[in-house]
Amino acid sequence: MIYIRSFQFVTILVLFILFTILIYLGFFTSIDNFVFNTFNSFSPGQYLLYSLVVISSFAEAVNLIFIAIIFTVIRRTRKMGMILMITIMILAILVSYMKPLVAQPKPPESQKIPALST
């Protein structure tokens, strides 16, 4: 009998595998096209584009690594910092190996996204 310590982890792992298979089989291409067409019809201003770039850059792994280092240095959050560091490493490895396996091409509509001008 298999003893499962964390049902949440198993649930997230099963959902991850399920979504990966669904994406590989192309179930989400219509959603991708809808999102790209919606954003393509919306013409944002220069300041909105810059603000979206700033907001999206906060989720980069480099910023999360800095936060994990700070958590690791502080004594009472050390365990949380180590868990965050290990999670970032596992995710980086998984993404680097899963990306070529799934190889979901970008829809042609994604090439129409406006570039930021200086």
Domain regions of the chain by residue span = 1-43, 44-105
Q: Which of 70-74, 83-87, 104-108 has the lowest mean pLDDT?
A: 104-108
In the predicted structure, residue 85 carries a pLDDT above the cut 80: yes
Using one digit for the tens of pLDDT, what is the confidence trace for 5-62? Answer: 888 888 999 999 999 899 888 888 888 888 878 877 777 777 877 787 777 777 677 7
What is the 3-class SS of the chain, one letter each residue?
Answer: CCCCCCHHHHHHHHHHHHHHHHHHHCCCHHHHHHHHHHHHHCCCCHHHHHHHHHHHHCCCHHHHHHHHHHHHHCHHHHHHHHHHHHHHHHHHHHHHHHHHHHCCCCCHHHHHCCCCCC
For residue 21, the model assigns a pLDDT of 92
For residue 109, the model assigns a pLDDT of 59
For residue 62, the model assigns a pLDDT of 76
